Amino acid sequence: MNQDAPNRPDPDALLAEAKRQGRGRLRVYLGMAPGVGKTYEMLTAGKRREKEGVDVVVGVVETHGRKDTEAMIAGLEVLPRQPIEYRGRQLMEFDLDGALARRPKLLLVDEYAHTNAPGSRHPKRWQDVEELLEAGIDVWTTLNVQHLESLVDVVWKITGVRVRETVPDSALSAANEIEVVDITPDELRERLNAGKVYVPETARVAATNFFKPENLTALREMALRRAAQTVDDQMVDAMRRQGIEGPWAAGERILVLIAGDGMSSALVRAGRRLADLMNAPWTVANVERPNRPNRDPQAARRVAEALKLAEQLGGASVVLTGDDLPDAVLAFAGRNNVTQIVVGKSRDSRWRILTGRSLANALLRRSGGAALHFVTAGAPEERTAPVETAPRRRPHWWRGYAAALVLVALANGAAFVLDAYSTGADLAMIFLASVLGAGLAYGLRPALAAAGLAIVTYNYLFLEPRFTLVIGHATDVFTFAIFIAVAGATGWLSGRVRDQAQLSAQRASAVTALLAASRRLSAASTQDETAQALAEQASAAAGGRAVVLLPKGEDLVQAAGAPTTVLLTTGALAAARWAWEKGEPAGAGTGTLPQVGWTFRPLVGVRGRAGVAGVEVGDTAGADEERLVSAMLDQGAVALERAELAAATVENEALRRSDKLRAALLNSISHDLRTPLATVMGSATTLIDYGKTLKPEVRGDLLISIREEAERLNRYVGDLLDMTRLEGGALKTRSEWTDVRDVLAAAVGRVSRRLESRKLTRDFPHELSAVETDPGLLEQAIVNILENAIAYSPDGSAIDVAAYEDRGNVVISIEDEGPGIPQSDIERIFEKFRRLEEPSDRTPRGDRNKGAGLGLSIAKGFVEAMGGRIAAASPLVAGRGTRILISLPKATPTHRLLL
Amino acid sequence: MSAHKPRILVIDDEPQIHRFLGPALEAAGYEPVRADTAADGLAAIANRPPDAVVLDLGLPDLDGTQALIRARAFYEGPIIILSARDMEMEKIEALDLGADDYVEKPFHVGELLARLRVAMRHALNRAGAPALIHAGDIEIDLVKRLISRGGEPVRLSPREYDLLAHLAAGGGKVLTHRQLLTAVWGPANVEDVQYLRVFVGHLRQKLEADPANPRYVVTEPGVGYRFMAD
């Protein structure tokens, strides 16, 4: 290690150190058994700290009614406990969120190995402590050595008590300090007899057994040794950090092989103990055979649990694949310089040992340099959980065997009919056919059963002498031997073929499902669509309900569900939030909130977490479904990210366009206001400075231009004010009986001077109903439309103004002979600043008479404010001309007449 | 000034501007030439270079600064920019690109004509720079590098002198911050407008009768400085 640079600190060690900074510090008061005074010791030290001015809070302490302990708590701040309902009882549990909110410098949390009430965030208290440390709070806690995961087996062997509340060894290794609280076994027994040790009434007999002097001595040794080992580890760590060449064992690497039988977890614990002794890294491996369907769900569960246990105990876990078990193991061992291999020597593999086919033997023959450790099976520990051990067989597993029986019976019948016409060898073929059929239809085992049955019945019924299993003729012996061989081989082969076909079919359906999911995901364009597609596909793959939750601001909300009506419980939501915040799976099958019945996985894409997906845990979910779901979720995360990016792009584009429009708007207002002003000022100053030298007609022209530009400016300012009134909601409309013809005449009068040589025709009927409207606003609207018509039509063309009645409305029509408006733009001519977006080649050069493009927009606003409607039609004739129609409801004269 | 009337090309798309600027220029003794687009204007410059150009930056067919760059490719005469007050950046960019001066709309005809005169005089001087520059009681001798105020020598640091010499050589023309910084401090310091503020302050202390209301070193807010020579 570090041979090229002997004094350089080990980067791994530095990394681990960096990770520890900012974390709270953990101190564990370690004892050999209950009653040694751990809690008392912790409280004493805590009180000392408090006197020194440290912010110390008691998170949870079990006094068990002991007076001296209770006295110690007095004076310290105690966090209130949180009530948790469980099966009708109220359990008072440690309040993790309360502690996190209170954020003391130092928190005292008794009983590190405590199991939390179901419904708490974490199943175990050491996980609560982990979260507290993560939040930067220092924690002191207490622990008895028998609760250490790797010592459970040893403790059981010594004391006969199997400890249920355990703490993974890594949780103790994480401690910055370990303080051993030690008294002699004799002293402890005295205290027990004096009633100073809390023991529940029901466990008094067990306790007396447990507190035997030899047990206590053994436990004491374990506690002291474990503490010493931690000190040793810390020293080695420190040396590695500082780059000191260490005395640690060089290059030992341990591989633990597990097979899913009852000893898996015992093997893992043995591996951990060996690793501790050697101070070596260790890995737990399971070998999967790709060509064999995993038939035993219980074994799969055991493997998964053992691998998880390995990680809890601080080891690595790996799943190897390969048809040849020893080959796969030795290849891995060779690659990873494994020096120690731990294997189980289970009691039920005697047949395999006899045939030399056991893994242990194969390894023994071929293991090369590695040392082999055999662990023999102890107690059948896994049998202790009866609910879980009931094997989940496939439904109707017996069907194959029944079918085999029927097929062989049919073969017998056929053989009986044909018996009269043919020889024994032909009959054998019929039996072979039945074996083949059983294999193809129901797989390996029914095929082998059929083969066995066929062999027996064939011999018994059709080989001379009949109705015995004895074979008479020598030739028949030969025939029968071949028959046995062929029947066996046929059964085996056809069974394998069928099993493999089924397996490939399963994989093909998984691939198909993935493909379908990927297709649906890529078809979805918005985030919500993507989330819905993902939920539906995940639900289909897992065979249960599924949800997708996406972040919305600070919160995490359900964006999709399959079915869409899925409603998550508060507990499930909490698990989802946890998965989101920590980036780790939560809920069923994990260490966090496992009771909720849903498994939530963070959706991690390329740029980070995109959301959380939850799948309801069904009865049928197996490893294959699990893999499929997880592959799907990976795709989903990327798809969600893509949708989010797309949405952001659209939003940016809209923002950019609105920015551009605002800049154009400002530019336009600035230009339209300033140009007339510049003309007025320039003409005026020209007259002032050079008035005397100018010709009279030039002087007159300048004066006219001043008046025209002032008028133009006035119109523009009027437009802007009208627009502001409309937009600001300050527009007040009067309502009076109005003759539209009067208003039209006034409007025409106002624009007449600007008509130049355009011909304006009027077409009003003699009788026209009145409308109830605001004549001032209507006049302005009409003036705006007329000015627009003038601005957009060539000099000398005609402008037609008409008014008529149509279905209860009075309609005003204004037509020009201008260039017309393309059909695609007709909807938009009433938009504000419409002129801005016109291509410049449609704007006649130098003609700024058009105003800012507010006119029609204001006309529309006014007409609609008066309860009327406005519309445009163009082109009218030969691609030219625009017609604007204003329609106002006729006044109802009734109440007027009554007045 | 030569015998012919100086020709002033006005490039503006607003007919109203031509309507009063034409008679005004004529009355002031110039010959106005009208162009309504940048293309027309550039063609007019290429055909027969005018004595000065008045260019509106808001043209419909070409961005004003683009028009300026093209014109500067083959025209060295004075160019006065017409621009709106709120188009600050556009204005500074135009000055940096070689425009001689600017007038904000709306403007007094007298002001535009004054700027035109300064720019044309400066253009005439460009060939043989004057050795002596006078501004009130200040005399700047660019050959001997001597400054005097009311006959008394004024002591300037080398940087202060460089700055004053550049301003004075501009002959009443506005010089942008960027132009001054590049010339005096070098291209690396074009963003350091605060240097300029400090040194202009020093110059005013030494040259102006009332440094708080300067007459000679005049600030063009947000744009630059100009030196008001006689």
pLDDT in tens, A297-321: 677 777 877 887 787 777 777 777 7
Q: Does residue A844 carry a pLDDT above 50?
A: no
Q: Does residue A19 carry a pLDDT above 80?
A: no
The pLDDT tens digits for B131-179 are 788 888 888 888 888 889 988 898 889 889 889 988 888 777 888 998 8
Query: Of A668, A671, A673, A683, which to mutate for an interface test with B (greatest number of B Cβ within 10 Å)?
Result: A683
Ranking A730-739, B33-42, B205-214 by mean pLDDT, the lowest is A730-739
Distance from CA of B122 to the nearest CA of A (A): 24
DSSP string, A358-422: SHHHHHHHH-TT-EEEEEE--S-GGGG-HHHHS--PPTTTHHHHHHHHHHHHHHHHHHHHHTTTS
Q: What is the pLDDT of residue B33?
A: 94
Q: Does residue A250 carry a pLDDT above 60?
A: no
Q: What is the pLDDT of residue A388?
A: 32
Strand partners of residue B184: none
Q: What is the pLDDT of residue A840?
A: 38
Mean pLDDT of chain B: 86
DSSP-derived pairing of the beta strands A106-109 and A56-60: parallel
E strand or H helix at B217, and its extent? strand B217-220
Q: Does residue A324 carry a pLDDT above 50?
A: yes
Cβ burial of A373 (10 Å; 0-12, 13-18, 19+) is: middle
Phi (first) and psi of residue A617, to 5 degrees: -80, 115
Q: Does residue A326 carry a pLDDT above 70?
A: yes
pLDDT band at A8 (very low <50, low <70, confident <90, very high): low
* Interchain contact, A690 vs B23, CB within 8 Å: yes
Mean pLDDT of A189-210: 72
Contacts with A676 from chain B: Cβ below 8 Å: 16
CA gap A171, A26 in Å, rounded: 10
Ranking A309-313, A535-539, A549-553, A715-719 by mean pLDDT, the lowest is A309-313
Mean pLDDT of A225-241: 69
Contacts with A702 from chain B: Cβ below 8 Å: 19-20, 23
Of the candidates A671, A678, A846, which has its C-beta nearest B107's C-beta? A678
Of the candidates A681, A693, A705, which has its C-beta nearest B108's C-beta? A681
Q: What is the pLDDT of residue B31?
A: 93
Q: Which residue has the higher pLDDT, B34 or A473?
A: B34
Q: What is the pLDDT of residue A478?
A: 79
Q: Does residue A504 carry a pLDDT above 50?
A: yes
Q: Does residue B8 carry a pLDDT above 90?
A: yes
Q: What is the pLDDT of residue A605?
A: 76
Q: Does residue A887 carry a pLDDT above 80?
A: yes
Percentage above 90 pLDDT, chain A: 5
Contacts with A846 from chain B: Cβ below 8 Å: 13-15, 36
Ranking A40-44, A212-216, A460-464, A663-667 by mean pLDDT, the lowest is A663-667
Q: Does residue A812 carry a pLDDT above 90?
A: yes
Q: Report CA-CA distances (Å) from A29 to A185, A273, A321, A869.
A: 18, 22, 43, 85
- For B24, which residue in chain A has the nearest alpha carbon? A686
pLDDT band at A62 (very low <50, low <70, confident <90, very high): confident
pLDDT band at A834 (very low <50, low <70, confident <90, very high): low
CA gap B145, A340 in Å, rounded: 92
Q: Does residue B201 carry a pLDDT above 60?
A: yes
Of the candidates A675, A690, A693, which has its C-beta nearest B16's C-beta? A675
Of the candidates B28, B36, B107, which has its C-beta nearest A845's C-beta? B36
Q: Which residue has the higher pLDDT, A114 or A823?
A: A114
Q: Report CA-CA distances (Å) from A126 to A137, A774, B100, B125.
A: 14, 79, 79, 90
pLDDT band at A346 (very low <50, low <70, confident <90, very high): low
Contacts with B14 from chain A: Cβ below 8 Å: 675, 678-679, 846, 848
Which residue, among A363, A364, A372, A374, has the nearest Cα to A330 in the 3D structure?
A: A363
> Where do the H-state alpha helices sit in chain B?
15-27, 38-47, 64-74, 88-96, 109-125, 158-169, 177-185, 193-207
* Interchain contact, A671 vs B84, CB within 8 Å: yes
Of the candidates A671, A676, A846, which has its C-beta nearest B36's C-beta? A846
Q: What is the pLDDT of residue A619?
A: 53
Dihedral Cα B168, B170, B175, B180, nearest 10 deg: -60
Q: What is the pLDDT of residue A4?
A: 44
Q: Which residue has the higher pLDDT, A381 or A629?
A: A629
Contacts with B87 from chain A: Cβ below 8 Å: 670
Contacts with B21 from chain A: Cβ below 8 Å: 682, 686
Of the candidates A670, A690, A701, which has its C-beta nearest B24's C-beta? A690
Strand partners of residue B146: B141
pLDDT band at A293 (very low <50, low <70, confident <90, very high): low
Q: Does residue B47 carry a pLDDT above 80?
A: yes
Of the candidates B23, B61, B105, which has its C-beta nearest A674's C-beta? B105
Task: For A831-870, give one letter per residue: b (16+ CB within 10 A) or e.
Answer: ebbbbeeeeeeeeeebebebbbbbbbbbbbbbbebbebeb
Contacts with A698 from chain B: Cβ below 8 Å: 23
pLDDT band at A624 (very low <50, low <70, confident <90, very high): low
Contacts with B19 from chain A: Cβ below 8 Å: 679, 683, 701-702, 705
Query: Of B109, B111, B113, B117, which to mutate for an interface test with A (greatest number of A Cβ within 10 Å)?
Result: B109
Contacts with A666 from chain B: Cβ below 8 Å: 86
Distance from CA of A105 to the nearest CA of B (A): 50
Q: What is the pLDDT of residue A339?
A: 81
Mean pLDDT of A25-44: 87
The pLDDT tens digits for A89-130 are 777 888 888 888 888 989 999 889 888 888 788 888 988 998
* Interchain contact, A676 vs B15, CB within 8 Å: no
pTM higher than 0.90: no
Contacts with A670 from chain B: Cβ below 8 Å: 84, 86-87
Q: Which residues contact A355 (CB under 8 A, 6 or more apart)?
A: none
E strand or H helix at A186, and its extent? helix A185-193
Q: Does residue A654 carry a pLDDT above 60?
A: yes
Mean pLDDT of A284-297: 69
Q: Report CA-CA distances (Å) from A211 to A112, A146, A221, A857.
A: 21, 13, 14, 95
Q: Which residue has the higher pLDDT, B124 or A691?
A: A691
Mean pLDDT of chain A: 78
Per-residue three-class SS string for A473-528: CHHHHHHHHHHHHHHHHHHHHHHHHHHHHHHHHHHHHHHHHHHHHHHHHHHCCCHH
Query: Of B20, B37, B91, which to mutate for an interface test with A (greatest number of A Cβ within 10 Å)?
Result: B20
Contacts with B86 from chain A: Cβ below 8 Å: 666, 670
- Residues A723 and A693: beta-carbon distance below 8 Å: no
pLDDT band at B35 (very low <50, low <70, confident <90, very high): very high
Report chain B residues touching chain A, CB-CB < 8 A.
13-17, 19-21, 23-24, 27-28, 36-37, 58, 60-61, 84, 86-87, 105-110
The pLDDT tens digits for A776-807 are 888 888 988 998 888 888 888 899 999 998 88
Mean pLDDT of A765-786: 87
Of the candidates B15, B17, B87, which has its C-beta nearest A682's C-beta? B17
Q: Does residue A693 carry a pLDDT above 70?
A: yes
* Interchain contact, A698 vs B23, CB within 8 Å: yes
Q: Which residue has the higher pLDDT, A853 or A836?
A: A853
* Interchain contact, B16 vs A671, CB within 8 Å: no
The pLDDT tens digits for A398-441 are 788 888 888 888 888 888 888 777 766 677 788 888 888 887 77
Q: What is the pLDDT of residue B34?
A: 94
Q: Report CA-CA distances (Å) from A599 to A264, A383, A549, A591, A603.
A: 25, 27, 13, 11, 13
pLDDT band at A67 (very low <50, low <70, confident <90, very high): confident
pLDDT band at A235 (very low <50, low <70, confident <90, very high): low
Report chain A residues touching chain B, CB-CB < 8 A.
666, 670-671, 674-683, 685-686, 689-690, 693-694, 698, 701-702, 705, 709, 840, 843, 845-846, 848
Q: What is the pLDDT of residue A814?
A: 93
Q: Does residue A828 carry a pLDDT above 80?
A: no
* Interchain contact, A685 vs B110, CB within 8 Å: yes
